Amino acid sequence: MSSMIRCKKLSHEACENILALIGNGDVGVGGRLPTKSKLIKMFNVSWTTIHEAVRAFAALGVLEIRPGLRTLVVGLRPCHLCTLPG
């Protein structure tokens, strides 16, 4: 009997956590995402994991990365709630 083990990438979990921050209203549209350093501590993951998650959401148009000004939430559509990057 064979059983499949499903592994979730840490960047996918980070995406879910970032989405929760936005969905719960902790960070609204137009608001700033916490710094990567704070996200690393909040989610207990590496810089690379947070970077990958943020870039994935930027590619979807949810976040806008502004060097030196942190990352802004620019939009969240219902489709983002169903399909997470990562």
CATH 1.20.210.10 fits 10-82, yes or no: no
Greater confidence (2 vs 63) lies with: 63
Identify the top-confidence range among 2-11, 30-39, 66-75: 30-39
- Asked whether the beta carbons of 45 and 10 are under 8 A apart, the reply is yes
CA–CA separation, 19 and 32 (whole Å): 13
CA–CA separation, 64 and 29 (whole Å): 11
> What pTM did the predictor assign?
0.77
Condensed to tens digits (0 to 9), the pLDDT of residues 35-72 reads: 999 999 999 999 999 999 999 999 988 999 988 888 99
Using a 10 angstrom Cβ sphere, with 0-12 exposed, 13-18 middle and 19 or more buried, the burial of residue 6 is: exposed
- Asked whether the beta carbons of 85 and 79 are under 8 A apart, the reply is no
Q: Share the mean pLDDT of the chain.
A: 82
